[in-house]
Amino acid sequence: MTLTPSGTPSRDRLWRGDSSTSHEWVDFDRGAITRRYDRFAGIIPLFDWLFFMPPRFREKAAERLQLRPGDRVLEIGCGTGRNLPPLRAAVGPTGSIYGVDISAGMLGKARALCAQNRWSNVNLLQQDAAEFTPSDPLDGVMFGLSYNTIPHHLAVLHHAWTLLRPGGRLVVMDAKLPPGLGGRMVLPFSLWLMKRTMLGNPLVKPWEDVLRLAGSIEMEQYMFGSWYICAATKPTTAPA
């Protein structure tokens, strides 16, 4: 991995720019991502259905955080709050939930959900996840369908890791290309579709980034490898 002078990992540069093949991703800037999600906020639930999200997928991802009542959890790119119900159920009324997102449109829906359920311990913040700093260490961090939409995902991942307490859990859940020939065949369509919808770069492999950071991961795959939950525990002792 190389670092830019600003310290931001620059692996994505490999997919920027001038390749004339269709196997190419060009990162979108923050303004474009915000505008896209502001526009999609009303129809986003449709995508779970269109992309064949497995049953109870969000609940399973929240379970992998191994949260207990009273815990503190962050969802990065919380969007309209579709992961908030299982996270709230896990930490209960005494826990704290932080949801960070750059899209006001998406957060508006999440705020309405919290108001409707009278959840007073969900803190929703409109900001870049790289800038979020809670007052105390977190017990869990979730990237819910967001890692691949964040061009500087490596910087955000490393930042999130520093926010976790030793023994805390990090979960990335998302769709991905299926393995082997199937994945190679759907890649051009996936690139085409993602550029027009969720802006999730299908060439990014979050589980590899988490593995490098954490040293070991648990990886569960669903629907012939087209959905996954990747989980890791922050070591309680620093490596020798």
Stretch that binds ligand SAM, among 19-27, 142-150, 188-196, 227-235 (CB under 6 A): 142-150
- Measured from the CB atom, the residue of 83 and 201 that comes closer to ligand SAM is 83
> CA-to-CA distance for 151 and 1, rounded, in angstroms?
15
Nearest approach in angstroms of CB 35 to ligand SAM is 10
> CA-to-CA distance for 94 and 198, rounded, in angstroms?
34
Total site size for ligand SAM, rule CB under 6 A: 21
Q: Does 106 bind ligand SAM (CB under 6 A)?
A: yes
Select from 9, 86, 95, 144 the one that contacts ligand SAM (CB under 6 A).
Answer: 144
Would you give the binding string for ligand SAM spanning residues 43-82, x where CB under 6 A is met?
---------------------------------xxxx--x
DSSP string, 67-92: --TT-EEEEET-TT-TTHHHHHHHHT
Q: Is 155 helix (H, G, I), strand (E, B) or coil?
A: helix
Select from 96, 103, 190, 226 the one that contacts ligand SAM (CB under 6 A).
Answer: 103
Tokens of 147: 């890692």
- Measured from the CB atom, the residue of 89 and 185 that comes closer to ligand SAM is 89
Edge to edge, the sheet with strand 227-233 lists: 122-126, 96-101, 72-76, 138-144, 164-175, 227-233, 218-222
Nearest approach in angstroms of CB 215 to ligand SAM is 26
DSSP state of 220: E
Residue in 80, 203, 201 with CA at minimum distance from that of residue 150 = 201
Q: Does 86 bind ligand SAM (CB under 6 A)?
A: no
- Measured from the CB atom, the residue of 96 and 149 that comes closer to ligand SAM is 149
Q: Does 171 bind ligand SAM (CB under 6 A)?
A: no
Select from 198, 210, 229, 230 the one that contacts ligand SAM (CB under 6 A).
Answer: 198
User: CA-CA-CA-CA torsion for 12, 215, 225, 62, nearest 10 degrees?
Assistant: -100
Stretch that binds ligand SAM, among 9-17, 87-95, 96-104, 180-188 (CB under 6 A): 96-104
Q: How many CB atoms lie within 10 A of CB 29?
A: 8
Do residues 56 and 82 lie in contact, with contact meaning Cβ atoms separated by under 8 Å? no
Residues contributing to the site for ligand SAM (CB under 6 A) = 33, 37, 76-79, 82-83, 100-103, 106, 128-129, 144-146, 149-150, 198
